[in-house]
Amino acid sequence: MSSRPLPRTPASPASPPASIALVALVALLTLIIGSVAAASFPRAPAEPFRVLVYSGGTHASQDSVRAGVDAVRKLGADHGFGVEATDDPDVFDDAVLARFHAVVFNNAAPASRKGKDLDEGGRAALQKYIRTGGGWVGLHDAAAGTGWDWYGGLVGATLDRGTPVQTGRVEVLDHAHPSTVTLPDLWERTEEWHNWRADPAGTVHTLAEIRVRDGVTGLDEGADHPWSWCQNYDGGRSWFTAGGHAPSAFQEDAFLAHLLGGIEWAAGAKPGDCTATGAGSFQRTPLATGGLTDPVAVAVAPDRRVFVAQRTGELEVVDQRTMKVSTALDLAYSPETAARSDGLTGLALDPDFAVNNWLYLLSSEPTGKRLALSRFTADGGTVDPASEKRLLVLPGRRSTDSGAPATSGSLGFDREGRLYVATGDVSPPLASGAPDDLRGAILRITPQDDGTYTVPQDNLFEPGTAGTRPEIYATGMRNPYSFTVDPVSGDLLAADAGADGAVGYFRITEAGQVGRPYCSGGTARGAAGCSPRVNGAPPDSGPGSGGASSGPVYTYDPESLHHSKFPEYFAGKWLTYDPAGRRFTTHSFQRGNQTFSDPRFGPVETGELQSVNVVFDDMEWSRPSAAVFGPDGALYVIDAGLGSGAGRDGGDEGAGVYRIDHVGEGRLPGAAVTTDRDNGPAPLTVAFTGAGSGLPQGVPVSYAWDFDGDGGTDSTEANPSYTYRTEGQFTARLTVTGPEGTTAMAGQEITVGNTRPRITVRQLPDGGLYRPGDTVPLTVDVKDDEDGTRPVDCSRILVRSQAGLPGTVHPLAGTPGGGRRCGGSLVMATGEVSRSGSHLVTVQYTDRGAPNAPELTGSASLTLRTAFQEAEQYTSTGGTHDGAVAGRRTGASGGRALTEIEDGDWIAFDPVSLRNIRSVTVGATPCGTGGTVEFRAGSPDGPLLGSLTVPGAEDGVAGSGTARGGTVSPTAALRSPGGSAVLYAVFTDPAWNSEQPDLFAVDWLRFDGPGAGRAGAR
């Protein structure tokens, strides 16, 4: 079949001289008549654009090809754009392609089995066409492999294999793009479904994906399976749909609308963002990365000031105009209170904050015995403690219970001005939820101007109902500390972790007992696999695996002038984040009720969870703890860091406040400030560097430094130095400007007149091993230049650890250090918190400041480990055969064990102290050839500390320890290398070869001896 562009009509032969006058007269009359006609009749509109439909090199049936051509021709006729069609590859010529705004590959590819291939010249013409801004549309078999890498990139993916034709459903994710704006949320189709050689998600912008849970035969399982997408590629525009296999597709109104939108976008006739889910489309800008300790909540004011609540009781404010970070309010918790799981946990700004400056905090009282919901008034960068209006008080944490989980909570307003309060599960036993107990529930109240509140109608219990509290709105979740309010629907969205670590997501539309999560433990409620899968398998959901937290729902404002606002794709999507898994996901919901013709598919209702997709996959996080959209449409994220307190500024290592901007395929200049020092006596000379600032590929930028905070420019060098001669605290600010005038700023606090204290943990070995309930002694040395020889105030030492409860730290008399040594202890937890693994301990000391300089905090951190260690919780693995693999194993402790163990493989725990450890016992399964476990210090071939033998499957278990259900538990004596070190367990069998099975499986390790502590009361 050929429908080639018509050739040009040949020119007429020259006219004889005798006819010139007649020709001129006819031409004059024609001009006059044409002018009259033009004045009397409307002129036909010019074509807005023209497309070329190419069907050469097709793998599809001729019926499908003809149906595709006819469909595009009809779309052109109905919508006023021009269409030409051909199957001749010679059309790929610079001059011919220049006539078209887009080229449609109608089930066609540059190479085929039929010999109609694009030659070298044709391929070069197509490349040039795209690179000069042309558009490309691909249907179904346009993704067939050609061996041409550039074309594979243009398509976005390469077909691996198709499935048999069958019915399935497509999840439409983008409801803003012209090709998907009119499509249903779940689109039932009968198709030949494609499997891809490589998942294109992240490389392209996915518009719609296959619903893999529909059981499509022959379809690869996976978290994402894109079906239609778009991208800006190599200077041009590329749009692809895997639909269009059968001729009947081109008779469907929905598919024709889908195709029309793709053609219009590719031709440049309609706008549409194709960067929303592509890697590199978002840029993370640090706003504050120093001095933060356990940040837990964030709110952004209308003027873009960022308020950050820290569990330790400080409310910090980041001014994005100056990059200054200041403490607006300090609840002045004692170290004893701050060390436990009490503290400041919730923050919300009043809906009329721009007018009344009111903000609400949920916090523990200093004793930790009660929680208080209070309103405060902000004044610029400060909050007056005397402005407190206490709305609500309820019982809080037992401050003497070391095994309790961390107190949590959150606050949020709905569009009616009602305030929701999630108190978390702060009382024993877990999941209180009693009708007369405000703990373990989500409350709903309406704050009043006088600092009181009223109870709105339609809460769970009517006011005056005996044995109930009318403030309760929803209950029934285990630990409902994390929620958000959908700003459009007003629905309450909450994330909750079950006792077994399984994650549940809840959409709460009315007061009641909540018991139907969207998913729990991988069971679907509208969508399965609520946690993104890795290599087709659900992530570990066992105890300690963490769980998702509720982030915001995005409201797109088309009138907003902020160029880096999130695109409309995210409108209505619920953003969640996993502090343990360190990832973000979006949840898309059904926008309407739907039914389907295939009996396998039951009806779906408005509000059901449609899909879950990973976002920001190219960003690394330590422990995201809060996220909120600002008035500028950017996302503000709190990263709580590692919780180690190891930062040189006294804050938690890795803790920071970040703004995430949508930059599409552009970039904002980066700004980063590094200094050789940030504190000390005057005069203080500081060397600054802007390393890490600027734009990629060496694009030139300019630097402007304001060292003293007076608003002027003190240097334009990239790496200047400055001497501070006046005592005080200053915010040094760097402004980086790109070639298009875009700017970025970064700040660094410099304290002049006070020196940060230095602390050393003398007794509490890094990597020390303990048993639940042990009492571990602690000794700390403090050095502070300004304090001189004065005894250190041990009450200013803060010890933080989820591994146990710190006792009072007191001075140690008669010890080296001249009265500058303090001692205390940690009573290790006995509950869930004491599970196997490593636990960070932070020790911080805040000095008294100086007459003209503020207080400074110094910190140190170390790791403690339980004496019983699950083998799969190693720090690293490696070896001759790439190391061991942690896999699920029935009957194993924790449900997992180490497998794929071959000669020369190893696992490492970093760090470990073997002080007071006499031996180690290994729980193993003799399922292979057997071998030796060698324990070595520092490296896989470091000093040998001890070894043991695990028998092979045919050797039995005699003499190898106690056999239980086919397992063995041999023991080896251990010697200490002295001090802390990386401990390697090396698996060996010199006689092993690749034709043999693995050596054995390892389940756990138990270290025997007093360890780091002494036995507590049991």
User: Residue 37 corresponds to which tokens in the numbers above?
Assistant: 């006609």
Q: How many CA atoms lie within 13 A of 773 on its CB side?
A: 5
Judged by DSSP in three states, 35 sits in: helix
Q: For residue 403, is pLDDT > 60?
A: no
**Quick check: 204 and 226 in contact, CB under 8 A?**
yes
Percent with pLDDT over 90 in the chain: 63
Mapping DSSP onto H, E and C, the string for 414-458 reads CCCCCEEEECCCCCCCCCCCCCCCCCCEEEEEEECCCCCEECCCC
Which residue in this structure is represented by tokens 């602390």?
A: 759
**Quick check: 1000 and 926 in contact, CB under 8 A?**
yes
Give DSSP secondary structure letters for 889-925. Answer: -TTSGGGEEEE---TTEEEEEEEEE-TT--EEEEEEE
Q: For residue 693, is pLDDT > 90?
A: yes
Q: For residue 6, is pLDDT > 80?
A: no
Which has more confidence, 692 or 1012? 692
| CA–CA dist 57, 467 (Å, integer) | 76
Burial of 595 from C-beta contacts in 10 A (0-12 / 13-18 / 19+) = exposed
Average pLDDT over residues 605-629: 91
Residue 566's pLDDT is: 97
Q: How confident is the model at residue 221 (pLDDT cuts 50, 70, 90)?
A: low
Burial of 528 from C-beta contacts in 10 A (0-12 / 13-18 / 19+) = middle
Amino acid, single-letter form, for residue 833: V
- 981 bridge partner residues: 912
Q: For residue 409, is pLDDT > 90?
A: no
CA of 298: how far to CAs of 207, 314, 330, in Å? 31, 12, 16
pLDDT tens string 60-109: 788 999 999 999 999 999 999 999 999 999 999 999 999 999 999 999 98
CA 867 remoteness from chain centre: 33
Residue 527's pLDDT is: 31
Judged by DSSP in three states, 690 sits in: coil
Q: How confident is the model at residue 337 (pLDDT cuts 50, 70, 90)?
A: confident
Average pLDDT over residues 592-615: 93
- CB neighbours of residue 70 within 10 Å: 16
Cα Rg for the chain, rounded, in angstroms? 34
Percent with pLDDT over 70 in the chain: 85
DSSP 648: T
| Angle (CA) 989 995 1001, round 5° | 50
- 1005 bridge partner residues: 869, 922
Residue 37's pLDDT is: 34
Starting at the edge strand that comes first in sequence, how are the strands of the sheet with 295-300 ordered?
Answer: 295-300, 306-310, 314-319, 324-330
Angle between helices 253-266 and 62-79 (to 10 degrees): 70
β-pair type (102-106, 50-54): parallel
Judged by DSSP in three states, 845 sits in: strand
**Quick check: 656 and 292 in contact, CB under 8 A?**
yes
User: Residue 985 corresponds to which tokens in the numbers above?
Assistant: 């367990």
- The alpha carbon torsion through 1003, 1007, 1008, 1013 (nearest 10 deg) reads -140
Residue 887's pLDDT is: 85
User: Residue 969 corresponds to which tokens in the numbers above?
Assistant: 């538990």
Q: How confident is the model at residue 1010 (pLDDT cuts 50, 70, 90)?
A: confident
- CB neighbours of residue 1014 within 10 Å: 14
Q: Which segment of 137-141, 421-425, 700-704, 732-736 scores lowest on mean pLDDT? A: 421-425
Residue 831's pLDDT is: 66
Q: For residue 151, is pLDDT > 50?
A: yes
Buried b (16+ CB within 10 A) or exposed e, 2-38: ebeeeeeeeeeeeeeeeeeeeeeeeeeeeeeeeeeee
DSSP 97: H
CA of 663: how far to CAs of 178, 276, 603, 674, 699, in Å? 21, 9, 39, 25, 16
| CA–CA dist 909, 825 (Å, integer) | 24
Residue 830's pLDDT is: 80
**pTM (2 decimals)?**
0.85
Instruction: For 782, list phi and psi in degrees, rounded to 5.
Output: -125, 130
Q: Which segment of 3-12, 155-164, 754-763, 819-828 scores lowest on mean pLDDT? A: 3-12
Q: For residue 30, is pLDDT > 70?
A: no
User: Residue 772 corresponds to which tokens in the numbers above?
Assistant: 């639940």
Average pLDDT over residues 4-18: 33
Buried b (16+ CB within 10 A) or exposed e, 952-984: beeeebeebbeeeeebbbbbbebebbeebbbbb
User: Residue 839 corresponds to which tokens in the numbers above?
Assistant: 């636990």
User: Residue 732 corresponds to which tokens in the numbers above?
Assistant: 């040094």
| CA–CA dist 532, 518 (Å, integer) | 14
| Angle (CA) 410 412 418, round 5° | 135
pLDDT tens string 273-319: 999 998 889 999 999 998 898 899 999 999 999 999 999 899 999 99
Which has more confidence, 607 or 955? 607
Residue 541's pLDDT is: 31
Best CA proximity match to 674, nearest among 752, 732, 605: 732
Q: How confident is the model at residue 960 (pLDDT cuts 50, 70, 90)?
A: very low
Average pLDDT over residues 787-792: 78
Best CA proximity match to 420, nearest among 352, 493, 496: 493
Average pLDDT over residues 47-72: 91
Reported residue count of the chain is 1018
Which has more confidence, 911 or 402? 911
Most trustworthy range by pLDDT among 102-116, 721-735, 815-829, 838-852: 721-735
Q: Which segment of 24-38, 384-398, 635-649 scores lowest on mean pLDDT? A: 24-38
Average pLDDT over residues 36-46: 41
Judged by DSSP in three states, 189 sits in: strand
| CA–CA dist 115, 117 (Å, integer) | 6
Tell me the pLDDT of the chain averaged across its residues. 85
| CA–CA dist 295, 314 (Å, integer) | 9
Q: For residue 750, is pLDDT > 90?
A: yes
Amino acid, single-letter form, for residue 981: A
| CA–CA dist 104, 911 (Å, integer) | 60
Judged by DSSP in three states, 249 sits in: helix
Q: How many CA atoms lie within 13 A of 232 on its CB side?
A: 18
pLDDT tens string 764-778: 899 999 998 899 999
Q: For residue 324, is pLDDT > 50?
A: yes
Q: How confident is the model at residue 479 (pLDDT cuts 50, 70, 90)?
A: confident
Strands (E), 489-603: 492-497, 503-508, 512-513, 519-520, 523-524, 549-553, 574-578, 583-589
Of all residues in the chain, what percent are helix, strand and coil, respectively (each to 5)? 10, 40, 50
Instruction: For 794, list phi and psi in degrees, rounded to 5.
Output: -65, -20
User: Residue 574 corresponds to which tokens in the numbers above?
Assistant: 């619920």
**Quick check: 909 and 944 in contact, CB under 8 A?**
no
| CA–CA dist 292, 312 (Å, integer) | 10
Q: For residue 910, is pLDDT > 80?
A: yes
Residue 482's pLDDT is: 83
| CA–CA dist 837, 896 (Å, integer) | 14
pLDDT tens string 502-531: 667 788 889 988 754 433 333 333 333 333
Instruction: For 430, list phi and psi in degrees, rounded to 5.
Output: -60, 155
User: Residue 83 corresponds to which tokens in the numbers above?
Assistant: 């269409």
Best CA proximity match to 344, nearest among 325, 328, 320, 323: 328
Average pLDDT over residues 598-623: 91
Instruction: For 15, list phi and psi in degrees, rounded to 5.
Output: -85, 145
Residue 19's pLDDT is: 33
